[in-house]
Structure formats: structure tokens, C-alpha cells
Amino acid sequence: MSRIAIKDASFPAPFASKLEYNSPVHGNWNIVHTGMQVPESIQIYVCAENCMRGVVLTAAEMNASDRFSYVIVEQKDVLYSNLDDLTIEGVTDVLNKRGDHPKAVLLFTVCLHHFLGSDLKYIYRKLEERFPDICFIRCYMDPIMQKHSLTPDQKLRKAMYDMLPVCEAEEKSVSVFGSDFALNESSDIKRLLKRYGYTVRELPACNTWQELLEMSKGRLFINCYPAGKYGMEAQARRLGREHLYMPGSFSYEEIERQLKQLTDMLGLPELTKDELAHECAICEEKLTEARNLIQETPIVLDYLYHPRPLGLAKLLLTHGFRVKAVYLDSISPEEKEEFFWLKEHAPELELIATILPKMRILPRGSGEEVLAIGQKAAYFSRSRHFVNLVQGEGLYGFDGIRRTAELMMDAYQNEKNTEKLVGQKGWGCECCL
């Protein structure tokens, strides 16, 4: 079963876990895209040729082939060689052949290193002895761990900050960790912090290695993207910083709670009731404007647009929009409350899988024109009116709600070439497709 009414769905897994289908929707970022954010760095992958194809293509599509190298592991190497030595000598050869030494190397070890019991500490120690001027960042491309431990993506979003030095905190400085996109300048967090003269540092805005190192100066560490939470917490513990998880939300009450946590932690004045009422009022105006334009047009949305798809569905339903379906494969524990609210108040809302093999052959679209929020929703519904944005790009708080409404109105009024756009890997990256 690839679709189910939410009234009949189970939490947190509405669909059985089995063989998976990868749709031709590639706007989400992978580990190559994310790792390329580290300035003045290169990536080196040590793996078999069949696994290399995707990551090589990603680097090429980003016009970043000059920052990407690899060491191929062949069958004879597994049978007759020592993978530890192969990794050390292969990486050494890559670095010796380069005309420069990068500030950092993101070295990706793979499933084979697990299978063969490689001594990763030994590998990194030897490389650091040979190249003391290079920071070697411990990265993994081991999808065998995907469903049983931290994912390669989560581990990478920690490793990218492992080089941050221990230092004194700056009193008026905050560092935002773990997202592929910088917060919008109009986001609630940035507006609030800049009101009180705070410097906000984020990796996506860093242009040099030194700027990245200065992120350790933050008095408070913040994370807004779920996949980066583990890494932010780990760095806060290591560097002795307070930290705050502020995931993007479509709930006025949750946004207010998070902003209060932020002001309390920094010792800043709380937003007044009038200020909060004003923020909500502007959101209501934008949502009303969007509802008056879109009217009864069916809406479908997906988890790729934002990590809180059920929260968005609830927001839209409570403001008179006709939400027909949500494309997702599992439900985040953070959306448990929204799931049961929708189960009671919108029992016929459909949940539709995106990775079940049946989705490869089932007809796409129903013949009815819909407004899609997210690339997967657009692809599976065959909509040419869709909001083209991934992973909650820069959205946060009341401003994120308003921007979503604006993007919906723009999508309703303007067609897009869906097939061309959703096939481009890494939405927001430089891409030569």
C-alpha cells in the first residue's frame, strides 16, 4: 500500500519498510554538497568504483571537480592487500600530486572499512604525521549504517566542526550549526539578534577557513535543522558552550516558546505581547491573501520542502486551504502532536509514500490541477505550479510562515518546468545541468 488515509495510518511508520525506490527528484543535498561548504577544503573518497559514480557526478555538477579526488578499491585489494595501507598510500599519492595543500581534507571511508575491520585511528594518525599542515576531517560514506545508527549525513554535520578550536566566547556572538542554508536575513532569529548587536556566524556564509574557525567564538550554539542537532550538541559539549535547538515550525505557540528560550538564555528582553501579536497578525494577513487567491485549488505537499510537513498541513487546513495529500515515508517524533491532530480533524487527508517500489510504475497525477509545495509533491502529482524549495531553506519562525504563503502565491500564478527543475541535484548549489 503506497497511500493511506491518515485516520488509518500508524505512527511513526505509516508504510512498511522494504525495498526502496529512488525517484528522479534530486533537489535534496547529499554528503558531497554538504561537505563542499567547508571553505579551502577538498574531499577524498576511498571506495569501490560502482559506489564512486554518484559522488563523482555530484562534484562535477557542482563545477567542483577540482576539489574532489578518489582512491579506487578493487577486488584484488580486498583479497590480497591491506585496506589501511591502501587508504594511507592512496591519499598520500593524491595529495602529493596536487600543486597545493588544502587547509582541510574531508576523507570519506566507506562500508568496506567496516567489513574489513580497518583501524581508522591508525589511518588518520599516519596521514596527520605525513601532512601536519592539513586538517583531516573524519567523514563516512557507509549507508549500511543508515537505519541502525547515526546516518552519514548526521556524522558529517558533526565532523565539519570538529576542527573548531577551544577559545574564549565573544559576549555578543551566536553560531548557527548544521544547516545547508544560511538563515534568511528577515528570519525571526536574525532580526532579534541583530536588534541587540549580536554577530551571527553560519557555515554557509563562511568564505574562508579562518571564518569557519571563528564559529567557535559563539557564546551560544543554535541548530534549526534536525539532521544537524547531534553535531551541534556534540560541539557544544566539547567547547563548553550553551546550546539551543530551535527547529523550524509552523506553530505560532512553538515559535513563541523558542524565541522566549533564546531571549532567556542570552539575558535579553522578551518579545512583548504586542510584538508577538503583530507578528501573528502579519502572518494571518499573508495567509488570508494566499487563501483568497488560491481558493479551492487542491494542495499537495512533501517532506522535502520542510522537515515539518504535517505542521504545514495543519497550518494550511486551519486557514481554509484544501490540503489533499502529504508525501512522506515516515513521521518525525517532533510531529507526533500534529499527526494525531490531523488524524482527528482531517481524517481523510492522504499520506503517500515516495520510496516504495510501486511508486515507480503507478500513474502520476490525477488529471486535476493541484498546487504542490515541494519537488516530490510536484513530481508525483505532475503539477507545473509548485514551490521549488528544499530542506526548509533559510525559513524560520513567523517570517518562515509568511514566506511560505508568498511562495505559494507565486507558484499558483506562475508555471514551472517541473521535469527539468526537479532533476537538478542539490537545489541551491551551482549546477551545470
How do residues 323-364 score in pLDDT, each as one tens digit?
999 999 999 999 999 999 999 999 999 999 999 999 998 889
d(CA 286, CA 264): 29
Is residue 392 in some structural domain?
A: yes
Of 242, 266, 290, the position where a domain reaches its end is 266
329 and 293 share a domain?
A: yes
| Same domain, yes or no: 143 and 216 | no
Q: Give, in degrees to the nearest 5, the angle at Cα 338 between 335 and 343.
A: 125
Which one of 103, 118, 150 terminates a domain?
Answer: 150
Query: The C-alpha cell of 364 is what?
Result: 502520476
Mark whether 260 and 277 lie in a shared domain: no
Q: Is residue 166 part of a domain?
A: no
Q: Are residues 277 and 415 in the same domain?
A: yes
pLDDT of 433 over the 50 cut: no
Give the tens place of pLDDT for each residue, 99-127.
889 999 999 999 888 888 899 999 999 99
- Mean predicted lDDT score pLDDT of the chain: 95
User: What DSSP character marks residue 307?
Assistant: S
pLDDT at 147 over 90: no
Q: Are residues 107 and 215 in the same domain?
A: no
Range of the domain at 337: 3-21+273-422
- Cα–Cα distance, 189 to 300 (Å, whole number): 29
Total domains, the chain: 3
Is residue 159 included in any domain, yes or no? no
Contact 50, 56 (CB under 8 A): no
Are residues 45 and 88 located together in one domain of the fold?
Answer: yes
Is 431 within the bounds of a domain? no
- Residue 388 C-alpha from the chain's centroid: 15
| Lowest mean pLDDT, pick from 244-248, 309-313, 373-377, 427-431 | 427-431
* Residue after which a domain boundary falls, among 266, 300, 330: 266
DSSP element (H, E) containing 177 = strand 173-177
Tell me, yes or no, whether 280 and 413 share the same domain. Answer: yes
Query: Judging by DSSP bridges, how do beta strands 220-223 and 323-327 pair with one another?
Result: unpaired
Report the candidate in 364, 354, 375 with the shortest Cα–Cα distance to residue 425. 375
Q: For residue 50, give every residue at least 6 positions away whose Cβ sits within 8 Å of its Cβ, in sequence order, or none.
A: none
- Per the domain annotation, does 98 fall within a domain? yes
Q: Are residues 326 and 361 in the same domain?
A: yes
What is the Cα–Cα distance from 338 to 303, expressed in whole angstroms? 14
Domain membership of residue 133 (yes or no) is yes
Q: Are residue 46 and residue 86 in the same domain, yes or no?
A: yes
Residue 319 sits in the same domain as residue 227: no
Q: Are residues 233 and 357 in the same domain?
A: no
| Helix count and strand count (H, E) for the chain | 17, 14
pLDDT in tens, 416-428: 999 999 998 899 8
CATH code of the domain in which 177 resides: 3.40.50.1980
Same domain, 232 and 294: no
The pLDDT value recorded for residue 113 is 86
| Distance between CA atoms of residues 336 and 331, nearest Å | 8
Query: Would 156 be classed as within a structural domain?
Result: no
Residue 37 has what DSSP assignment? T
Residue 146 pLDDT level (bands cut at 50, 70, 90)? low
Residue 7 belongs to a domain: yes
> Hey, what's the cell of 218?
559563539
Summarised one tens digit per residue, pLDDT across range 288-332 is 999 999 999 999 999 999 999 999 999 999 999 999 999 999 999
pLDDT per residue as tens digits for the range 256-268: 999 999 999 999 9
pLDDT exceeds 60 at position 432: no
Q: Where are the beta strands (DSSP E) in 66-121?
A: 68-72, 104-110
Answer for the pair 38, 108: CB distance below 8 angstroms, yes or no: no
Kindly tell me if the per-residue pLDDT of 175 is higher than 70.
Answer: yes
Task: Return the closest-CA partner of residue 205 out of 215, 197, 195.
Answer: 215
What does the pLDDT average to over 201-208? 97
